[in-house]
């Protein structure tokens, strides 16, 4: 066994030491693999970052009621009567004044302009009830103050304010047909609400002519377990054709659709590119085997087995591709990790989120690189092992 | 030519297929080489000299007939068994040295020892000895590109003898060297034969080179014609 390992080590050393003779070819393989891994990891980091933002939104003890079957807030409608019935439901926490902590909300799409590109984008305007901020935990006014009830004032999420133009504190913006003043900037523990504009629900209703209609009702539950009783209450009342779930579940479902889409784009693109890199790797490794034909044949004539020649070639290929994979991962991390952008969420409004690379994602990228190296090295390695010695010696 | 022959070919037939044509190189060739012999093989280009060495070295296969080396039939061995046979019995010396350019002289010479159970320290001793035998003890750390052709061929000879094989197979070992350097190399081979008793089969074009051998075989049209030094 020891001589076998020594043979493998010697052949591998000879291979690796001969890489400088094929420097540019080897480098092109490394670069090709790095690009593949970058594309894959960029998509995965986008998907993961988006997922993190949405799954960081909503609590298990906040219930949301939507029209039955509505997948997104924008498709939902809840009447004022239904709101009143929900408020009377069981399991809802109460505020200091003894009234149930609920918020009947409107969710509208308004126009905005992206700072980075100057392009138009759909932004969500949320009309919230008096307890809109209290129903949810983690809503904090970072600058300015909360809007005054009944006024044309808005507070904007921190991400929205930084990504879209015109939402600086004190500025007046035109939303729909009316003018609104930005009086505050809020944070929401990094969640989706930071990509929203919030205003007083009655003011939104009157200025957007949506009297008597809401999209959703939020309710703070006494505990996550209280959801069951509220759900049962809603289901047993024929006037309430509403779906009730926790806000947490609601946003998790929303993230599922978009992250699926991103991943379904990213993997095929990366795999298509991986085939290109694979062609490059095969070319490089066949060249390597051809360039070392005399050396391999000489070693075989000395008594070296075919297997060390096989392994040595495979190791060279794997090494090149793993180097490419690591470069790709590091480059993606340097360029994109924490890179903030926005994309359309489930309600066709912009959700601002940051790209995020995790060790598990990096592993997927390096794994893909390994596959390229393995397949790209396999056939040349077989050739290295099987090449007739006499032909190799003849040059 | 006795039962003590180190190498024995009996009825060896070998040919190649080139496209539609098949060329017969050897037809029922017989040959015996005793231990300690130094045979020069001469003959026109394409007469099968290299093929003969390849068959003896176990890197090519006969079509028919038997090859026995050191009492072992090597025709019909598996590839793995042939690799073991080569490692234990054969040292090759090539016209263009075939050193690994990225390895030092010592590392090149060490290669055959990687196939043995020798420990690192023992391997180093063997390498030093082999390099000393070819007069290159001071070049152990040099790379092939830092050495002349003659020096590279000495390193190749050191590599061929380091694991103490029973037979050295040299294919035009001086074919790429000038007269003076060739004479040095041939002197090294002659010393190996005379003083260390190495059995050597050397293919050469050069009658002057053949004179270093104990006898010369002329290969032509698939048959040997033996001539002694006087002829
Ligand atoms: N692998 C091979 N395939 C086909 N023909 C070969 C092969 N090896 C050698 N030959 C042919 O066999 C003949 C003898 O070759 P070789 O032994 O190399 O001759 P020499 O060394 O005497 O010049 C030549 O005609 C050569 O073309
Ligand atoms: Mg020849």
**What is Dmax (Cα atoms) for chain B?**
54
**Contact: A393, B59; criterion CB under 8 Å:** yes
**Contact: A303, B103; criterion CB under 8 Å:** no
> Residue A367 above 50 pLDDT?
yes
Q: How far apart are CA A86 and CA B18, in angstroms?
A: 92
Lowest average pLDDT, out of A251-255, A276-280, A388-392, B35-39, goes to: A251-255
Which ligand lies nearest the alpha carbon of B49? 1
**Nearest-CA distance from A389 to chain B in Å?**
6
The atom number, within ligand 1, closest to the CA of B52 reads: 17
Q: Atom 13 in ligand 1: which residue has the minimum CA distance?
A: B46
Nearest CA among A158, A177, A129 for reference residue A169: A158
**A53-85 core/surface letters (b: 16 or more CB in 10 A; e: else):** bbbbbbbebbbbbbbeebebbbebebeeebbeb
Whole-number pLDDT of residue B210: 95
Nearest CA among B5, B3, B51, B45 for reference residue B27: B51
**Contact: B86, A302; criterion CB under 8 Å:** yes
Within 13 A of B162's CA, how many CA atoms are on the CB side? Answer: 32
Whole-number pLDDT of residue B229: 47
The helix or strand, by DSSP H or E, that contains position A158, with its residue range, turns out to be: helix A158-163
Which ligand lies nearest the alpha carbon of B22? 1
Q: Between the CA of residue A141 and those of A101, A133, A144, A146, A352, what are the distances in Å?
A: 19, 10, 7, 7, 18
Helix/strand/coil for A41: helix
Whole-number pLDDT of residue A50: 83
Nearest CA among A171, A158, A132, A202 for reference residue A53: A158
Q: How confident is the model at residue A101 (pLDDT cuts 50, 70, 90)?
A: very high
Say what the ipTM of the complex is. 0.94
- Domains identified in chain B and CATH numbers: 37-59+90-227 (3.40.50.300)
- Please check whether residue A114 is in contact with residue A341, taking contact to mean a CB–CB distance below 8 angstroms: no
Q: How confident is the model at residue A349 (pLDDT cuts 50, 70, 90)?
A: confident
Q: How far apart are CA A284 and CA A320, in angstroms?
A: 10
Residue with tokens 């590119």: A273
Helix/strand/coil for A72: coil
Q: How far apart are CA B57 and CA A208, in angstroms?
A: 94
Per residue in A6-38, pLDDT (tens digit) is 889 989 998 898 888 889 989 999 999 999 999
**Nearest-CA distance from A306 to chain B in Å?**
9
Averaged over A213-232, what is the pLDDT? 92
DSSP A148: P
> Who wins on pLDDT, A259 or A226?
A226
Give 3-state DSSP helix, strand, coil % of chain B, rounded to 5.
35, 30, 35
Closest in B60, B84, B88 to A390, CB measured: B60
Nearest CA among B24, B34, B28 for reference residue B198: B34
Which residue out of B15, B20, B43, B50 has the highest number of ligand 1 atoms within 8 Å of its CB and is therefore the one to mutate? B50
Q: Atom 27 in ligand 1: which residue has the minimum CA distance?
A: B46
* A291 contact B CB<8A: no
Q: How far apart are CA A22 and CA B124, in angstroms?
A: 31
Whole-number pLDDT of residue B72: 94
Q: Atom 9 in ligand 1: which residue has the minimum CA distance?
A: B51
Which ligand lies nearest the alpha carbon of A390? 1
Q: How confident is the model at residue A261 (pLDDT cuts 50, 70, 90)?
A: confident
Averaged over A166-195, what is the pLDDT? 92
Q: How far apart are CA A304 and CA A5, in angstroms?
A: 11
Q: Characterize the bridge pairing of strands A178-187 and B167-171.
A: unpaired
The atom number, within ligand 1, closest to the CA of B18 reads: 4
Q: Atom 5 in ligand 1: which residue has the minimum CA distance?
A: B16
Averaged over A124-139, what is the pLDDT? 91
> Who wins on pLDDT, B50 or A343?
B50
Nearest CA among B120, B100, B119, B118 for reference residue B109: B100
DSSP A189: T
Q: In what order do the strands lie in the sheet with B5-18?
A: B21-34, B5-18, B64-69, B72-73
Q: How confident is the model at residue A341 (pLDDT cuts 50, 70, 90)?
A: confident
What dihedral angle (degrees, nearest 10) is formed by the CA atoms of A185, A191, A195, A197?
A: -50
Question: What's chain A's average pLDDT?
Answer: 90
> Residue A137 above 80 pLDDT?
yes
- Please check whether residue B172 is in contact with residue B95, taking contact to mean a CB–CB distance below 8 angstroms: yes
Q: To 10 degrees, what angle do helices A306-336 and A247-291 make?
A: 140
Beta bridge partners of A342: A352
> Residue A258 above 80 pLDDT?
no
Averaged over A104-128, what is the pLDDT? 91
Whole-number pLDDT of residue A222: 92
**Contact: B59, A390; criterion CB under 8 Å:** yes
> Ligand 1 mean position to B60 CA, how many Å?
11
Angle at A314 between CA A313 and CA A320, to 5 degrees: 95
Averaged over A230-248, what is the pLDDT? 91
* B79 contact A CB<8A: yes
Which residue out of A390, A391, A392 has the highest number of ligand 1 atoms within 8 Å of its CB and is therefore the one to mutate? A390
> H-type helices in chain B, by residue range?
49-56, 79-89, 105-110, 120-133, 149-161, 179-196, 207-210
- Tens digit of pLDDT at every position of chain B (231 positions): 445 789 999 999 999 988 888 889 999 999 999 999 999 999 999 999 999 999 999 999 999 999 999 999 999 999 999 999 999 999 999 999 999 999 999 999 999 999 999 999 999 999 999 999 999 999 999 999 999 999 999 999 999 999 999 999 999 999 999 999 999 999 999 999 999 999 999 999 999 999 999 999 999 988 888 765 444
């Amino acid at each position: 066994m020891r001589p076998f390992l020594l043979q493998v080590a010697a052949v591998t050393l000879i291979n690796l030491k001969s890489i400088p003779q094929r420097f540019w070819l080897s480098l092109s393989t490394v670069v090709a693999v790095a690009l593949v891994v970058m594309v894959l990891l960029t998509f995965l980091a986008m998907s993961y970052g988006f997922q993190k933002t949405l799954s960081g939104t909503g609590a298990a003890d906040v219930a949301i009621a939507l029209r039955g079957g509505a997948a997104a807030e924008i498709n939902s409608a809840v009447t004022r009567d239904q709101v009143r019935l929900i408020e009377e439901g069981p399991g809802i926490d109460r505020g200091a004044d003894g009234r149930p902590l609920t918020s009947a909300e409107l969710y509208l799409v308004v126009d905005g302009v992206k700072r980075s590109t100057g392009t138009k984008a759909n932004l969500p305007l949320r009309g919230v009830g008096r307890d809109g901020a209290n129903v949810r935990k983690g809503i904090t006014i970072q600058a300015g103050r909360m809007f005054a009830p009944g006024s044309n004032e808005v507070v904007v999420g921190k991400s929205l304010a930084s990504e879209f133009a015109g939402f600086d504190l004190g500025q007046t913006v035109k939303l729909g047909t009316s003018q609104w003043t930005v009086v505050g900037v809020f944070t929401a523990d990094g969640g989706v609400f930071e990509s929203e504009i919030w205003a007083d629900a009655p003011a939104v209703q009157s200025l957007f002519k949506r009297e008597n209609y809401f999209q959703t009702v939020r309710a703070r539950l006494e505990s996550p377990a209280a959801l069951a009783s509220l759900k049962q209450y809603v289901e047993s009342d024929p006037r309430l054709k509403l779906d009730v779930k926790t806000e947490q579940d609601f946003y998790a479902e929303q993230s599922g659709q978009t992250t699926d889409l991103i991943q379904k784009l990213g993997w095929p693109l990366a795999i298509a590119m991986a085939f290109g890199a694979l062609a490059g790797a095969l070319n490089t490794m066949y060249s390597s085997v051809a360039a070392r034909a005399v050396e391999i044949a000489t070693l075989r004539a000395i008594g070296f087995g075919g297997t060390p020649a096989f392994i040595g070639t495979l190791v060279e290929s794997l090494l090149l591709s793993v180097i490419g994979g690591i470069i790709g991962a590091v480059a993606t991390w340097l360029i994109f990790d924490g890179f903030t952008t926005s994309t359309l969420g489930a309600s066709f409004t912009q959700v601002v989120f940051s790209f995020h690379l995790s060790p598990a994602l990096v592993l997927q990228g390096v794994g893909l690189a390994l596959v390229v190296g393995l397949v790209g090295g396999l056939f040349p390695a077989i050739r290295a092992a099987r090449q007739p010695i006499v032909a190799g010696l003849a040059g | 030519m006795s039962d003590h022959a180190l190498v024995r070919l009996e009825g060896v037939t070998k040919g190649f297929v080139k496209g539609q044509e098949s060329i017969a190189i050897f037809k029922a060739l017989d040959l015996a080489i005793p231990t300690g012999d130094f045979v020069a093989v001469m003959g026109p280009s394409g007469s099968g000299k290299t093929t003969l060495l390849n068959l003896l070295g176990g890197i090519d296969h006969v079509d028919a007939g038997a090859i026995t080396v050191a009492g072992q039939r090597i025709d019909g061995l598996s590839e793995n068994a042939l690799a073991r046979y080569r490692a234990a019995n054969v040292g090759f010396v090539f016209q263009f040295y075939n050193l690994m350019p990225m390895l030092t002289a010592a590392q090149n010479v060490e290669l055959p020892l990687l196939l043995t159970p020798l420990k690192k320290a023992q391997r180093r001793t063997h390498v030093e000895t082999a390099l000393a035998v070819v007069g290159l003890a001071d070049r152990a750390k040099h790379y092939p590109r830092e050495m002349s052709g003659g020096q590279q061929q000495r390193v190749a000879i050191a590599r061929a003898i380091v694991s103490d094989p029973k037979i050295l197979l040299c294919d035009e070992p001086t074919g790429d060297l000038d007269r003076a350097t060739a004479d040095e190399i041939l002197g090294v081979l002659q010393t190996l034969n005379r003083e260390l008793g190495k059995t050597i089969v050397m293919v050469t074009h050069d009658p002057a080179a053949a004179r270093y051998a104990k006898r010369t075989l002329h290969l032509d049209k698939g048959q040997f014609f033996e001539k002694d030094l006087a002829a």
